[in-house]
Structure 1
């Protein structure tokens, strides 16, 4: 921050998660951990209307999106990135005072997702994964996930 002469724009705080966060903070970045740990961090903090969150989890993205929805944290946009053989969603969020309308398929596969080649490849990967599992174990939840992917693809076209 100092090396780039940004001290007047950025301040750092050492906290236990976001406990004790003061209301003068306008954006929080939490990345590089599981969705359930991000949920734990968010649940212990004081989140207020207008606070921006930039979140990225390496697993449990459904649980994270569901928590955000249940706590009136709107997902403004998402982008899927691919790095070293793994897909990671990046969620740009804002705390609001009302619920955001999202479908179950969006909770699983992205809300306001940037539609690009990486996201299309991610959907292909997920669909193939569930089809492969279904070839070995016939469980309704895997059929359901494939249907959610089809729903997401249909929404992209319309």
Structure 2
């Protein structure tokens, strides 16, 4: 997996390039910056994470993944059942409260506990992509269980 290079004119350009390499066939129109979050690297350093958002209504079963093992759509009310990266559930709930899908009333946002589950390794990433369909479902990817970072954990598509 690559990352931001001097040739990239923006983080969005980096994200689009990485998506073409690692998730060929997933084309997202209308990307916008949503939030700037912070995570802690495995070295204990603060790492800024730019989160982008965009609409995509595709079938995750048709997407070829070069890394990761699975993509699935989830509604915010199912997040408690998933092993998520730290802070991801809070971010998804916040976005869902700010952007309710058409014809669906907004749900009450509930915060997750602030600590990561035991054994979780935080990612070292620079950009995440929040993808939502017309029904308010969020696309998450499952990391391979042998991944060095947050194995067997659901996450946004990420670019380190």
> Fold match, TM over 0.5?
no
- Tell me which of the two structures has the higher relative contact order, counting C-alpha pairs closer than 8 angstroms and 6 or more residues apart: 2
TM-score range, shorter chain: under 0.3
* TM-score, scaled to structure 1: 0.26
From the CA coordinates, give the structure whose radius of gyration is larger.
1
